[in-house]
Amino acid sequence: MNTAVPRPEHPTPQWARPGRWLNLNGAWDFEIDHACTGRERSLPSAESLSGQILVPFCPESKLSGVGYTDFMASVWYRRGVTLPEEWRGGRILLHFGAADYHTEVWIDGVSAGTHTGGYTPFDFDITALLGDKRTFAVTVCAADDTRSPAQASGKQSMRYGSHGCFYTRTTGIWQTVWLEHVPDVYIKKCRITPDLANSRVHLDIRLSDWRGGMITAAASFDGVTAARLALPVRGTSARVTLGITDPKPWSPDSPALYDLTLTLAADGQTDTVNSYFGLRDVSLDGGCLTVNGKRVFQRLILDQGFYPEGIYTAPDDGDIRKDIELSMACGFNGARLHQKVFEPRTLYWADKLGYLLWDEFPNWGLNIDTSAASHAFISEWLTVLERDYNSPAVIGWCPFNETHPGQHGDVLRLVYDMTKVFDPTRPVIDTSGYVHVVTDIYDVHDYGQDPEAFAARYAGLPESVHQNYPEHERYGGQPYFVSEYGGIWWSDSDDSGWGYGDRVKSIEEFYARFEGLTAALLCNPHICALCYTQLTDVEQEQNGLYAYDRQPKFDAARLAAAMSATAAVETRESV
């Protein structure tokens, strides 16, 4: 087992306490518990488990050192921890980036708490369980039933093997685990809302406890102070508005980011958090998305977020950045983060590189008409909204994908309304591609492979509208988005895979099809965005612009030339 610490970087760069966190990735004891008898066998207090695993990689992955790809009803983890000597006083928080699906955590055999959901972060305050101990054991059990209709599974296969557009499962821990040392009263969260029109940013700060103190917020750009404000706080919340002198807008062309430092002084203790923000405005105008008042045609790629050796987890932080750079090299300016809640490091690199993102939830597998499933969904979706709200790269929310006629219309409307209440600053698509109930942008999925017929379907916009299920929905004049197209099936070495439509017979036939389909969308003045399927091959699915190992399949410059052509909606005076 590799003893080096994998994924050593801070997992949440928009919320970091330098020098006050301890990465727990690396070698852990591990055991598969097919019969879910671990509690009866006293595993929460066991001194060891039967095997080992490399966290944060799931046991299905090669990088975990386990590589077991069949179903696992539950899995167990254990490792010893020694706190840094300087961590005296205050509180100790144990964080998990994500673990799939029902998770319970013990400290020296005593339960610290539980969490339900496979895609969102959670933490436990373990201070009371530690007492005066500096060394202790952390034990984790994650139960996972991918086939349950009450559990979101995204693109995880419900069969033994992968098939079609369903891939290898992820069980248990799949994002970084870490400890954090905070004062007795600390800054729990901050919601950052840019207000570019008025050259300011609003900070809604939440504290961990009711206590008086002084909050200081300081913003800087390239090391030069842009704003600073200190004010007293009573209770658990404070609203701070920073006026920004000579504001530098964030945009895809110029992704300017401000450093933000928040400091709380309370009861003789100080808590400092480092963050950042981008000043940008997103709106819908003239049938198009605008960023800072400028129309931006969204040239998006469908990104599944799978890796050959890490499955859900990128082997290295550089691999996350590389995927964005590979997409941009082909002329794309953003992505649909498809059927998975991606790691916060993905948002960080998108923020840094000026890469637009649509956040989506992996709703596949959920029977949302049941109370158990709807409760599970809403709980996780609210956490996604809260976790990713501060990213300037996130320009829209899409909670569902491909819901069918007659399915949970009331739930779609409720979730749309809930999302708009939480965040009125971004557009929301209720459900991507199929039957819309209420939506800010009207999108369709279209895997037609004939460029001429493809263009003809959209020639009548906005009077004649192509719909996936026209008998079940109405078009309300919203901006129009073809949010899945292409999926062109090509491999020069394997005829046994899967893709959309007829497999092209040559690479030149691929280029002709790609260029024709893309031009049909870019040239239509009533289409505001496209999303090509997809960035990479994933296992048997062979419709990526890159192979699964990220090796190029095509000439990126030629793809970029087609994708970067001026879009009609960006230049038309009125739509």
- Sheet containing 122-125: which strands, arranged edge to edge? 21-23, 177-182, 91-96, 122-125
347, 475: one domain: yes
Residue 33 lies in a domain: yes
Residue 91 lies in a domain: yes
- Sheet containing 51-55: which strands, arranged edge to edge? 51-55, 26-32, 74-82, 135-143, 102-107, 110-116
Measured CA to CA, the distance from residue 133 to residue 127 in angstroms comes to 10
363, 498: one domain: yes
DSSP 538: B
357: nearest Cα among 387, 315, 402: 387
Q: Classify strands 527-533 and 480-486 as parallel, antiparallel or unpaired.
A: parallel
355, 425: one domain: yes
% of the chain with per-residue pLDDT over 70: 98
Lowest mean pLDDT among 225-234, 302-311, 326-335, 490-499: 490-499
What global pTM score does this model have? 0.96
Residue 164 lies in a domain: yes
Mean pLDDT value across residues 510-535? 97
Q: Is the pLDDT of residue 110 over 90?
A: yes
Residue 168 lies in a domain: yes
Query: How many domains is the chain built from?
Result: 3
Q: What is the predicted pLDDT for the residue at 52?
A: 98
> What does the pLDDT look like over 411-440, one tens digit per residue?
899 999 999 999 999 999 999 988 899 999
CATH number at residue 57: 2.60.120.260
CATH number at residue 360: 3.20.20.80
> What does the pLDDT look like over 301-318, one tens digit per residue?
999 999 999 999 999 999
Structure tokens at 543: 């419709």
372, 447: one domain: yes
Residue 5 lies in a domain: no
Mean pLDDT score of the chain: 94
With H, G, I as helix, E, B as strand and everything else as coil, classify residue 378.
Answer: helix
235, 130: one domain: no
325, 219: one domain: no
The answer for residues whose C-beta is within 8 angstroms of residue 511's C-beta and 6 or more apart is: 554, 558
Structure tokens at 11: 């997992």
> What does the pLDDT look like over 171-212, one tens digit per residue?
999 999 999 999 999 999 999 999 999 999 999 999 999 878
473, 567: one domain: yes
492, 415: one domain: yes
Residue 107 lies in a domain: yes
Report residue 495's pLDDT band, with 50, 70 and 90 as the boundaries: confident
Measured CA to CA, the distance from residue 483 to residue 224 in angstroms comes to 41
Instruction: Note down the domain range covering 410.
Output: 291-571
Where does a domain end: 218, 244, 277? 277
